Structure 1
Amino acid sequence: MSTLDRFHSLSLLSGRHELTVYLFILPLIVFFGILWFVPLVYALYSSFFVDPLGTATFVGLNNYAEIITGAGFWVYLWNSLVFAVSTTVLSLVVGLGFALVVDRVLFGGAALRTLMVFPYLLPTVVVVFLWRFLLDQNIGLVNLVLLESGLITDPIPFFSNVTLAMPSIVVLSIWKWGSFSFFILLANLQAIPDEYYERAQVQGASIWQQFWNITFPYLRGAILLILLVRGIWMFNKFDVIWLTTRGGPAGVTTTLPIRVYDLAIRLGEFGRGTALAGIMFVLLALVGIVYFWVLSPESEVTG
């Protein structure tokens, strides 16, 4: 067989292989495309109408204008940012702290990892029930301890107090999802060669210098990933807030997802609700664009 014939045969095999791959992938693309594209298009379409589920009236961008110019929008956006940023950053700090400890302990590491994964495996509704019991004004363990120790004279209504409601939900969320950061960072820590630290110790580097010059460069990509993924998840979080406060008291825990539910489901203003959801999508898309354009996470060392 000549070289040309061999090349032709290899080309045919390669073409058949690519065709087979496409035949297997195409159904998945169609399936997930329908699940993602159709609801997105329908939501976008609905946002241009008043009462899109009934006697639809086309109003163009009026729903968007009413949402943005409304007095409550910026309050709900601020609440969403406070909740998302505080839970994401504090979960990262807690996860990093525990990961550094577990990475260096000689004994008990497996037990500590098990304890860290336990809250993450619990259903959100169970976690909310647990924390509502712990922080209950009448029978909650936290109030009982504070009263017995003399630190307070009256029980504290954590989830119904205007000042404490959001911090209480943040603490609950950190306990629930802090292990997400822990396991990602621990995996990256364990991938750092021990020789780097041994060489730094010989050269007289302090613990802080070892962290800043060795540990942090290896973790930077993972940290950026956690900030993006967890930040988006917490910005879109609905269940934990709805199950604890329903957005109260006095709207201090009403975030954009809670407001979308209020508009679309409770008030029946489906057009305005989908318009607000569209605004959320645009905001998160802009965050993603800035993340990949400015920070260039693909160039980071992650382990």
Structure 2
Amino acid sequence: MSAVSTLQGRLGEFDEKRLLLLAMFVPFTLFFVLVWGVPIGYALGMSLFSDPTGAAEFAFLGNYVDVLTSELFGTALWNSIVYALSSTVLSLVLGLGLALVVNRKIKGGNALRTMMIFPYLLPTLVVIFMWTFLLDPNVGAVNQFLLDYGVIQEPLAFFSSTTWAMPAAIVASVWKYGSFAFFILLARLQAIDPNLYERARVEGASTWQAFRDITIPNLRGAILIIILVRGIWMFNKFDIIYLATRGGPLDATTTLPIMVYELAFLGSPDFGGATALAGIMFLLLAAVAVVYFWAFKPEQEVTT
């Protein structure tokens, strides 16, 4: 009887654990399906119709073929990659440099830390107005500085030039969003055990060797998270480029989000093509995320 009672007790304990697991897992799964799965599935389903907002005609993959074979798609994809990659890497470099400076507890470090949050808090429209004024060919401070020091011979219309429009938009983006990397990296730097640097100095390691062997390995997880999150965010970014250049001049700054907007709302609206392009963007970013988690295994950073 005792063995039977013990078995029943264990089965009862097992059932309680299973019920507790289900009670925690099921609501989360339902929430994920409702908030993420249904909208994504609906959007991808809409992309299979010629006009999802009106008399829908089933087009299957026709919208995808039309978008992928359009003349603008290759340019918009390349611009999106350049914009996302450049702004992410520059934000990371700027944020890391400033975080290393502030982490040394220099005089004025607290003021610099406070100032870093201001660009992030400013509305995007204000940021664009400010950079449009700074880069203005007639009264802009940047052009005046370059002219005074002989870097250029005549003013540059940054946002109106096919050569400089994209770099100008990238600079504005880095100025606004560089603090994202700064605060993440600064928090991680302050979590590194100072004794590690002390031991490195005792053993004769140089500043560069300590940075290479202690700082970078401890920042690896934070750097990878910044690259993934900020890269995806900037790839989908619409407002900065559209407010600054409207995708011009001559499609020099037309990215995939701007192309989606143009297909949906400008000229002869093509909602089927717009939703198909949005679906392509989702699939591209999903593939990048899968490769990222497979190659870098960020979960190991958490466990270690």
**Are 1:50 and 1:272, in contact at CA under 8 Å, matched by a contact in 2?**
yes
Residue 289 of structure 2 aligns with which residue? 288
Residue 212 of structure 1 aligns with which residue? 212
* Residue type at the aligned position of 1:285: A
**Are 1:88 and 1:230, in contact at CA under 8 Å, matched by a contact in 2?**
yes
Is residue 2:96 matched to residue 1:96? yes
Question: 2: distance between equivalents of 1:78 and 1:20?
Answer: 45
* Residue type at the aligned position of 1:58: F
Give CA-to-partner distance per residue, 1:180-229, whole Å, 9 cap, x none: 11111111111111111111111111111101111111001111111100
Seen in structure 2, the aligned counterparts of structure 1 residues 222 and 22 have a Cα distance that, compared at 3 Å, is closer
* Residue type at the aligned position of 2:56: A
Residues 127-276 of structure 1: pairs in structure 2 closer than 5 A: 127-266=127-266, 267-276=268-277
**Are 1:218 and 1:302, in contact at CA under 8 Å, matched by a contact in 2?**
no
Residue 114 of structure 1 aligns with which residue? 114
Q: Where has structure 1 moved over 6 Å in runs of 4 or more?
A: none
**Are 1:221 and 1:302, in contact at CA under 8 Å, matched by a contact in 2?**
no
Segments of structure 1 that go 5 or more residues without pairing to the other structure are none
* Residue type at the aligned position of 1:101: V
Seen in structure 2, the aligned counterparts of structure 1 residues 265 and 29 have a Cα distance that, compared at 3 Å, is farther
Residue 44 of structure 1 aligns with which residue? 44
Give CA-to-partner distance per residue, 1:245-280, whole Å, 9 cap, x none: 010000010000100111112241000111011111
Question: 2: distance between equivalents of 1:58 and 1:21?
Answer: 40
* Residue type at the aligned position of 2:126: V
**Are 1:88 and 1:227, in contact at CA under 8 Å, matched by a contact in 2?**
yes
Give the drift of 1:45.
Answer: 1.7
Seen in structure 2, the aligned counterparts of structure 1 residues 12 and 85 have a Cα distance that, compared at 3 Å, is closer
* Residue type at the aligned position of 2:112: L
Is residue 2:280 matched to residue 1:279? yes
**Are 1:188 and 1:302, in contact at CA under 8 Å, matched by a contact in 2?**
no
**Are 1:217 and 1:301, in contact at CA under 8 Å, matched by a contact in 2?**
no
Segments of structure 2 that go 5 or more residues without pairing to the other structure are none
Residue 20 of structure 2 aligns with which residue? 18
Percent of aligned pairs with the same amino acid: 58
Question: 2: distance between equivalents of 1:19 and 1:227?
Answer: 34
* Residue type at the aligned position of 1:71: E
Task: Supply the RMSD in Å over aligned alpha carbons.
Answer: 2.7
Residue 82 of structure 1 aligns with which residue? 82
Give the drift of 1:52.
Answer: 2.1
Give the drift of 1:139.
Answer: 2.3
**Are 1:192 and 1:218, in contact at CA under 8 Å, matched by a contact in 2?**
yes
Give the drift of 1:7.
Answer: 5.1
Give CA-to-partner distance per residue, 1:117-154, whole Å, 9 cap, x none: 11111121111111111112222222233344454343
**Are 1:219 and 1:302, in contact at CA under 8 Å, matched by a contact in 2?**
no
Match of 1:58, SS state, is: coil
Question: 2: distance between equivalents of 1:17 and 1:110?
Answer: 50
Give the drift of 1:33.
Answer: 3.6
Question: 2: distance between equivalents of 1:292 and 1:148?
Answer: 49
Give CA-to-partner distance per residue, 1:13-64, whole Å, 9 cap, x none: 95799399559x83x7656643433332222122111122122211111111
* Residue type at the aligned position of 1:213: D
* Residue type at the aligned position of 1:142: V
Seen in structure 2, the aligned counterparts of structure 1 residues 110 and 17 have a Cα distance that, compared at 3 Å, is farther
Give the drift of 1:116.
Answer: 1.1
Seen in structure 2, the aligned counterparts of structure 1 residues 178 and 300 have a Cα distance that, compared at 3 Å, is same
* Residue type at the aligned position of 2:114: T
Residue 64 of structure 1 aligns with which residue? 64
Of 201-210 and 51-60, deviating more is 51-60
Residue 297 of structure 1 aligns with which residue? 298
Question: 1: distance between equivalents of 2:202 and 2:170?
Answer: 42
Seen in structure 2, the aligned counterparts of structure 1 residues 282 and 12 have a Cα distance that, compared at 3 Å, is closer
